[in-house]
Amino acid sequence: KDSELLNIGYFAQHQMDALDGNASPMLQLSRIADKKISEASLRSFLGSFGFSGERMDTPSESFSGGERARLALALIVWQRPNVLILDEPTNHLDLDMRHALTMALQDFEGAVVLVSHERQLIASVCDELILVHGGQSREFDGDLTAYADWLRQARIDMMKSGQQPAAPVKSQVEVKPTISKLDKEAQRKEAARRRELSRPVRKNIEKIEAQIAKTQPRLAEIEILLGDSALYEANRKGDLLKLMNEQTELKAKLAEAEEQMLELMMELEELEGACE
């Protein structure tokens, strides 16, 4: 059967809790490796995940979060899954290991299902994006930039909906659901809890939106100024260089702000999903 050929490797944060703290990486890997595999091969494999000779033989209970994440990933990859499910795999990983993971996933010949807020990892690894919203999922037709636009518009629609609730339809006989005072109090507390959870993120989003709103008009203005042929005359060289330097600086700031906006939007979406 086809299902018998399916070998799924799953990594999430709780995988680190499943590690044997009393056992070293070498011991834990040898438990799942074929007895015919040489110790040198096992050590070479662990070395590719950043473990030195000394750390290979150290009980994992003393490891940092990053080391435990690397060990959990190594044990999964060793089993050669043809479907790899990764839930926030870069948490606790340093920049070098994030880069190494990206390269490994690009070379991985099986299927990868990735859940991550790491924009660089998603852009480098994923061929398809799945939009999960409103209790449904569908293939998202666009890249991460388009997704950021979608999130921004979804937030605007949500705010409009909250500010202008639909008026109830009046009828000759109006039936109101019976809601106890306790229910109403619970609803108020839940609404307050949601606002409190998302308030810092919303403030940061508003701050980044203000930065983007300030940067974009100036960039457009510079584009117009650079279109003036008189600017390219020899006696205007200083003005030209000044504008071009400002343009480069503003573009870099805008790209950084848009990336921060995407991360914040995704964080907000996750918080609101967790509150529901």
Give the confidence band of 224 by pLDDT, cuts at 50, 70, 90: confident
What's CA 6's distance to the chain center, in Å? 27
Nearest to 121, CA basis, from 139, 105, 108: 105
The amino acid at 41: S
pLDDT for position 180: 56
Residue 275 has pLDDT above 50, yes or no: no
Q: What is the Cα–Cα distance from 253 to 258, expressed in whole angstroms? A: 9
pLDDT of 31 reads 92
Strands (E), 55-184: 83-87, 111-115, 129-133, 136-140
Chain mean pLDDT for the chain: 79
Give the mean model confidence (pLDDT) for residues 144-154.
80
Instruction: Decide if 250 contacts 220 (C-beta within 8 A).
Output: no
Do 81 and 9 form a contact (C-beta atoms < 8 A)? yes
Mean pLDDT of 128-156: 83
Q: What pLDDT score was predicted for residue 162?
A: 55
User: Which has the higher per-residue pLDDT, 41 or 90?
Assistant: 41
pLDDT at 166 over 70: no
CATH superfamily, domain 2-127, is P-loop containing nucleotide triphosphate hydrolases (3.40.50.300)
176 has pLDDT over 60:
no
| CA 101/CA 92 separation, integer angstroms | 13
Q: Whole-prediction pTM value?
A: 0.52
Q: Is the pLDDT of residue 238 over 60?
A: yes
